[in-house]
């Protein structure tokens, strides 16, 4: 029996700008069990990235309930949210978000430094990741010396280095060609089979099909949930 990882009830996200109120998310109800692969789909402005950021604690819902592994996130202190994020969540961004001044090895190592992992253990974990992703030969290169596909592989390796329970991917193949895109999606499928829960936001029906469930959003609302 799979445990519930995420339980969101009647959650909304509202922002105010120039005297106007904008409803980015409206009455979101979503329950995700450990080991699921969820695809969030919808046109630009539908709320996919906002929902992903709120789930990942990079942003927060304005109202409603959100529990993560049974803990209520809504009224949680910022420091405790950060601990949850570091411990359980890996984020993969469309724009890679690698640090230009760090080489591949150092970029992958960054989350472990934040978690105060010992140097010897960090080196061993990074070596495993470099080997797993077949990028040992790239370890001393900087992001600008890599192709888009290679940068995204480094981004995925960095997200996985601390063995998260949950991978959040925001348009992870948006800047990649079809072959690179397939490689990243096949990698996500493999990770999911190994037990990692994955939530991706995507425009691509082909990529969405990798999910066991497709959640369709429109104007900040969930309008349909499709089982694959």
H-run or E-run covering 89: strand 89-93
Answer whether 217's CB lies under 8 Å from 48's CB.
yes
State mean pLDDT over 1-30.
Answer: 92
Q: Radius of gyration over alpha carbons of the chain, in Å?
A: 18
Answer whether 38's CB lies under 8 Å from 212's CB.
yes
Residue 1: the pLDDT is 58
Q: What string of DSSP letters covers 188-228?
A: HHHHHHTT-EEEEEES-HHHHTTSSEEEEEETTEEEEEEE-
Which domains does the chain show, CATH number per domain? 37-58+82-227 (3.40.50.300)
Percent of the chain scoring above 90 in pLDDT: 66
Residue 166: the pLDDT is 96
Residue 181: the pLDDT is 86
Residue 179: the pLDDT is 83
Q: Which of 179, 167, 175, 173 is nearest to 207 (CA)?
A: 173
Residue 27: the pLDDT is 97
pLDDT, one tens digit per residue, over 183-197 is: 889 989 999 999 999
C-alpha dihedral over 167, 169, 175, 180, to 10 degrees? 40
């Amino acid at each position: 029996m799979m445990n519930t990882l995420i339980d969101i009830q009647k959650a909304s996200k509202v922002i105010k700008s120039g005297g106007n109120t904008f409803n980015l998310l409206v009455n979101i109800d979503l329950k995700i069990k450990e080991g699921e692969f969820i695809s969030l789909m919808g046109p630009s402005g539908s709320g996919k990235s906002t929902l992903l950021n709120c789930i990942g604690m990079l942003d927060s819902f304005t109202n409603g309930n959100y529990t993560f592994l049974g803990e209520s996130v809504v009224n949680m202190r910022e420091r405790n949210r950060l601990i949850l994020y570091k411990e359980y969540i890996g984020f993969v961004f469309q724009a890679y978000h690698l640090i230009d001044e760090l080489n591949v090895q150092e970029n992958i190592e960054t989350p472990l430094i934040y978690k105060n992992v010992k140097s010897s253990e960090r080196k061993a974990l990074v070596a495993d990741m470099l080997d797993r992703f077949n990028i040992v030969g790239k370890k001393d290169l900087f992001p600008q010396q890599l192709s888009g596909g290679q940068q995204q592989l480094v981004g995925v390796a960095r997200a996985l280095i601390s063995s998260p329970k949950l991978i959040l991917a925001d348009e992870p193949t948006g800047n990649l060609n079809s072959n690179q895109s397939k490689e990243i999606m096949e990698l996500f499928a493999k990770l999911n089979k190994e037990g990692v829960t994955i939530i991706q936001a995507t425009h691509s029906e082909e990529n969405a099909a990798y999910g066991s469930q497709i959640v369709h959003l429109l104007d900040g609302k969930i309008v349909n949930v499709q089982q694959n």
